[in-house]
């Protein structure tokens, strides 16, 4: 993901041009979902800024009550805590997210999976303290992992096939949150905006002077904040940029790095040299799921599947002290996204 503080500072730089804008870009920021968010927008209409901020805060509050894996009273955590294998009402939002995850999970050959919550707990990533499990503990946790163990009953109900199956929405919820905030702004009448949550973002329209929105993708270096690329986004259609990386949340033990990206096929942290994946897509929810899935797969398998799915993706591998960048055919041929 993009570094939050760095993104905020750099976003301000990219929004400021040499020419005086016809109308100023309005901005506000805050904290939600355990991270920061930044909203930039403008409108030819006269809008009440406090009303817009209140609407965004309401959307965040509703999302938190539905999707958060960190509050026991959320809808998804009530589903996780219930050992029943009968259908449970979770609402249309969660069902749709599970459907998207099932599609991406199948395309990724099972590498991407929302039911890996027991593995996050086992390895200590949720508690931020590494525990290297033995094979017996790992196999016990793996017994409850697999998207085939969650069944869509209907538009608002899910059912577990095993009592201890638990779902973690973190790999898709932030993208969905970007989508919901974007729709809220459009509902108010704002057609020109840039929404960023924890480095995940979506832009629509242009800046007041007619120029395209520009954002930065940072160099995937632990503990450092350096710009890797500047991306100019299209003005004619909405575009999301979702970046997943192995270089932010990890543990180093005796010279071995344990990434928080877990391969659901064997229950272990990925160990390849792919350190960052940026997916460009109109739909931020789909882009968020794919960024994690492709990072899980690694460069060779990820590129093959991304090309087959006609996804616009930038991969960054770390080979020694060098970073090697590669792009899918769809991104290379794109006239919508310009990367410098």
- What pLDDT was estimated at residue 310? 97
Examine the pLDDT at 7 and tell me if it is beyond 60: no
- What pLDDT was estimated at residue 222? 65
Record the pTM: 0.90
Q: Kindly report, residue by residue over 86-143, the tens digit of the pLDDT.
A: 999 999 999 999 999 999 999 999 999 999 999 989 988 877 778 889 999 999 999 9
Degrees (nearest 5) of the Cα angle 308, 309, 314?
A: 95
Q: Kindly report, residue by residue over 196-235, the tens digit of the pLDDT.
A: 999 899 999 999 999 999 998 877 766 666 778 899 999 9
More confident residue, 320 or 166: 166
Cα–Cα nearest to 190, from 241, 238, 240, 232:
238
What lies within 8 Å, CB to CB, of 102 at 6+ separation is 147, 150, 152
What percentage of residues in the chain have a pLDDT greater than 70? 89
Mean pLDDT over 185-196 rounds to: 95
Each domain of the chain, given as residue ranges in start order, spans 71-169
Mean pLDDT over 33-41 rounds to: 93
Examine the pLDDT at 4 and tell me if it is beyond 60: no
- What pLDDT was estimated at residue 21? 46
Most confident of 18-27, 124-133, 152-161: 152-161
More confident residue, 99 or 254: 99
- What pLDDT was estimated at residue 16? 47
Q: How many CB atoms lie within 10 A of CB 287?
A: 29
Degrees (nearest 5) of the Cα angle 118, 131, 318?
A: 95
Could you tell me the pLDDT band of residue 250, with boundaries at 50, 70 and 90? low
Q: Kindly report, residue by residue over 297-318, the tens digit of the pLDDT.
A: 999 999 999 999 999 999 999 8
- What pLDDT was estimated at residue 22? 64
Examine the pLDDT at 3 and tell me if it is beyond 50: no
Class of domain 71-169: mainly alpha
Mean pLDDT over 146-157 rounds to: 97
- What pLDDT was estimated at residue 18? 46
- What pLDDT was estimated at residue 46? 80
Cα–Cα nearest to 251, from 337, 96, 124:
124
DSSP letter assigned to residue 123: H
Mean pLDDT over 70-89 rounds to: 96
Which residue blocks in the chain are alpha helix, DSSP H? 4-15, 49-67, 75-81, 92-107, 117-123, 135-142, 170-188, 284-297, 299-308, 329-332
């Amino acid at each position: 993901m993009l570094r939050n503080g760095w993104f905020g500072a750099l976003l301000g730089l990219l929004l400021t041009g040499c020419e005086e804008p016809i109308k100023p870009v309005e901005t506000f920021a805050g904290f939600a979902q355990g991270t920061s968010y930044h909203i930039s927008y403008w409108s030819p209409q006269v809008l009440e800024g406090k009303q817009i901020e209140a609407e965004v805060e309401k959307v965040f509050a509703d999302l938190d009550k539905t999707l958060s894996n960190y509050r026991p009273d959320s809808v998804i955590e009530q589903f996780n805590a219930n050992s029943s294998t009968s259908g449970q009402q979770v609402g249309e939002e969660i069902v749709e997210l599970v459907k998207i995850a099932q599609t991406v999970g199948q395309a990724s050959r099972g590498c991407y999976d929302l039911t890996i919550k027991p593995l996050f707990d086992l390895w200590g990533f949720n508690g931020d303290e590494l525990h290297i499990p033995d094979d017996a503990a790992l196999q016990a946790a793996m017994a409850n992992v697999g998207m085939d163990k969650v069944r869509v009953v209907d538009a608002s109900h899910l059912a577990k096939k095993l009592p201890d199956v638990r779902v973690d929405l973190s790999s898709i919820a932030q993208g969905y949150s970007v989508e919901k905030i974007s729709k809220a702004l459009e509902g108010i009448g704002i057609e020109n905006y840039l929404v960023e949550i924890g480095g995940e973002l979506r832009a629509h329209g242009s800046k007041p002077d007619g120029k395209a929105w520009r954002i930065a993708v940072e160099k995937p270096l632990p503990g450092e904040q350096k710009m890797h690329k500047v991306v100019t986004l299209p003005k004619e259609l909405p575009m999301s940029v979702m970046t997943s990386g192995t270089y932010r949340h990890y543990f180093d033990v005796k010279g071995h790095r344990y990434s928080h990206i877990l391969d659901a096929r064997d229950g272990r942290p990925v160990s390849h040299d792919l350190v960052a994946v940026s997916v460009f897509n109109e739909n931020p929810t789909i882009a968020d799921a794919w960024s994690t899935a492709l990072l899980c797969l690694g460069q060779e398998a990820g590129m093959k599947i991304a090309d087959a799915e006609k996804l616009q993706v930038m991969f960054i591998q770390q080979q020694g002290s060098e970073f090697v960048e590669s792009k899918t055919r769809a991104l290379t041929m794109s006239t919508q996204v310009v990367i410098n």
